[in-house]
Structure formats: C-alpha cells, structure tokens
Amino acid sequence: MSATTTAKLGHARPRVPQWTTAAVIWLVLLSAPLWLDLVGGYTALAAHVVVMALVAMALNFLLGFTGVMSFGHAAYFGLGAYGAGLTLRYLSDSTWFAMLNGVLLGGVAGTLLGLLICRRRGVYFAMVTIAFGQIFYYIAYRWDDFTGGYDGLRGFSRQPLHFGPWTIDIQGNGTLFYYFVLFVFGISVALMTFLLRSPFGRTLIAIRENQRRAQFLGISVNKHIWLSFSISCFFASTAGALYALLNNFADPTSLHYNLSGVIVIMVVMGGMRSFWGPLVGAAIYVVLQDYISSMTVNWMSFVGLLFVMVVMFFPSGILGMLKRRATT
C-alpha cells in the first residue's frame, strides 16, 4: 500500500451507522414542539410534514424498494382521508374508529385494484394507476350529497382519545395531536422496517434489481408486486386519515394525480432508495410551500428549480448526498 493511499485512508471520515441517522431524525421529530417557535414554525406545520412524510415513505416502499412507479397513490391517500371524515360525520365520533375505516377504505381499494394491474410493467403500470385514481377523484367531485363535491367534506372534527378514565384532548391541543400523529407514524415506520428487513423485503429488492433474474429463481414477481402495492396503499391511506384529522376537512384534490406527482417529487428529492429520504424530501417541500407561498403565488417555481437541481447534481437525493459527504 502506497504512502498516498495510507494518507487518504488515515484522513477518511468514519462511516455513519444507519442507526445514527434514525436517532437524529427521531430526536428532531420528538423535540419539534420545543424549538419550532424559535424558527417561526408551528405544530400544525410539523404535523403536516409528518403526514406527508408517511405517504412519501409509503410510495417509496413501492418505488424505491420494489422498483415500480405509481402515479396514482394520491387516490389511496384521499380515500383514507374521506374514510376517516365520512366516519366522523355520519357514523361515529370515535377518532380510532375513523382512523380504522380510513385505513381500510384506501388499503382494501388498493389491494383489489392491485390484482388488476400487477401484471403491467413500466409506463403501462403507471398510467393504469393514474386512471384508477382519477375514477375515485371524479366520484368524490360529483357526489355532492355525500362527499361535499367540489367544496369538500366538512362538518366533522377529530375527537379526544378515551382510554378508560383518561382522556387525551387532541381536539383542542395542537401539541398533543402532533404527538398522536407522530405515534401513528412511529408504528408505521416500525412495520416498514420489519417488512423491509424480512425475507419478503429482500425479495422486493431482488425484484427491483432484476425482475427477470428474480423470476428465474422461482420468485412470483407478480404476487410480490401486488403485495408491495397493497402494503404501500395501506400506509398511504393511514397518512390520508391523519390528514383529514389534521385539517378537519377532506377534498377531491387529495385524490388528484397532481398530488401523486407531488409525492413523487418528495421521494426523489429526499432520496428514492433511502429509507428516510422521503421524510427529508417531504420536510423540504412542505416547509418551502408554507413559507414561500406566503410571499409569492409562484412558489412552485422555486420548488421546481430545487427539484431540477437535485435531479441533475444529486441523483441519489439530498439525504443520499449528505450520507456520501459524511463517509468521504
């Protein structure tokens, strides 16, 4: 080994363990209500970031770890929102029951439709997801008496959580609601981590790398893509249910393919094949939207410029770039 090589190795930075990234992210999320006021933020914005991070991570489960693109994930996000909102308005004042119905509505819809599209590949898969998503959008848009139509679903609000003699007021206390959102997010992240580290998750990565070789190994590619799509839709609908509780409102734009495009931007901007990358992308997008839109109606131009720069100069995403710098 040459002296030059030895010197380079001696000055190389140690590799950052994956648990360090997770620890830093959770420290930031858990302490957010303590420092948000100092930077001009507020708890509702933090909750919005966590909700959009969850739907972005749900898409990344399919796109980043299975290698399948969906441009219709907003449909299952929106179904989760409408499922929770319709439950609170027409069936029950239980927040848990509303969450359950929202998750089931979007997840079951994704599971059933996944059976129809799991055999498609590439652009055909992506276009079919858009088509099915637009069907749900127009149903919500036109069904005025039930969904509120263009004006959206109103007349409901999240309710306090009851645990026997104890009550947690997530209705009037924004900080408690933020931690409720973070609690649901934490459970979802734990389930994603378990699935991706299991043999099933390794199989998904094998399909992402080379579908033909995976098929030659005896892996049922169509079945695994369907399962990945179904699981991803369940997580997306969970985020949608939280979104309805956050805003006490559900509208057809939460089902539109424009939102699907925004979710893809979050995933790519943060880091498509990184577990925590979508969270970083969602935080950047939501915060920029909140702050720049208060100054100009052309806020999307700034976000679009940032997105183009990331794609051109940091193809592994912002988190991927940060990790690469930390290990060189």
* Residue 210 · residue 217 · CB < 8 Å: no
- Alpha-carbon distances of 101 from 48, 94, 324, rounded to whole Å: 21, 11, 42
- Distance of alpha carbon 67 from alpha carbon 78, whole angstroms: 23
Residue 307 lies in a domain: no
Which one, of 81, 102, 84, 80, lies nearest residue 93 by Cα? 84
Residue 95 lies in a domain: yes
H helices within the chain, ranges in order? 3-11, 18-35, 43-66, 74-86, 95-117, 122-142, 144-147, 174-197, 199-209, 211-216, 221-247, 257-270, 277-292, 299-313, 317-326
Cβ contacts of 163 within 8 Å, gap of 6 or more: none
Residue 235 lies in a domain: yes
- Distance of alpha carbon 196 from alpha carbon 127, whole angstroms: 26
Q: Name which of 10-24, 115-129, 150-164 the model is least confident about.
A: 10-24
Residue 238 lies in a domain: yes
Please indicate whether residue 187 or residue 13 has the higher confidence score (pLDDT). Answer: 187
**Whole-model pTM?**
0.90
DSSP-based three-state secondary structure for 167: strand
- Distance of alpha carbon 122 from alpha carbon 204, whole angstroms: 16
Q: Name which of 15-24, 148-157, 190-199, 204-213 the model is least confident about.
A: 15-24
Mean pLDDT of the chain: 87
Whether pLDDT at 102 is above 50: yes
pLDDT at 83: 94
pLDDT at 328: 59
pLDDT above 70 covers what percent of the chain? 93
pLDDT at 10: 39
pLDDT-derived band at 202, boundaries 50, 70, 90 = very high
Q: Name which of 103-117, 159-173, 229-243 the model is least confident about.
A: 159-173
- Distance of alpha carbon 80 from alpha carbon 153, whole angstroms: 13
Residue 117 lies in a domain: yes
* Residue 66 · residue 207 · CB < 8 Å: yes
**What average pLDDT does range 117-142 have in this prediction?**
88
pLDDT at 321: 76
* DSSP code at position 250: B
As given in the structure block, the two tokens for residue 142 are 């036109």
Please indicate whether residue 318 or residue 89 has the higher confidence score (pLDDT). Answer: 89
- Distance of alpha carbon 69 from alpha carbon 60, whole angstroms: 9
- Distance of alpha carbon 123 from alpha carbon 131, whole angstroms: 12
Into how many domains does the chain fold? 1
Whether pLDDT at 123 is above 90: no
Rg (CA), the chain: 21
* Residue 82 · residue 250 · CB < 8 Å: yes
- Enclosing domain of residue 218: 43-258
Residue 296 lies in a domain: no
pLDDT at 179: 94
Residue 298 lies in a domain: no
- Alpha-carbon distances of 252 from 195, 258, 297, rounded to whole Å: 31, 11, 21
pLDDT at 6: 38
Whether pLDDT at 280 is above 50: yes
**What average pLDDT does range 99-107 have in this prediction?**
95
Which one, of 307, 251, 267, 242, lies nearest residue 67 by Cα? 267
pLDDT above 90 covers what percent of the chain? 48
Residue 90 lies in a domain: yes
Q: pLDDT for 3-46, tens place per residue?
A: 444 344 334 444 445 778 889 899 999 999 988 888 878 899 99
Q: pLDDT for 46-67, tens place per residue?
A: 999 999 999 999 999 999 999 8
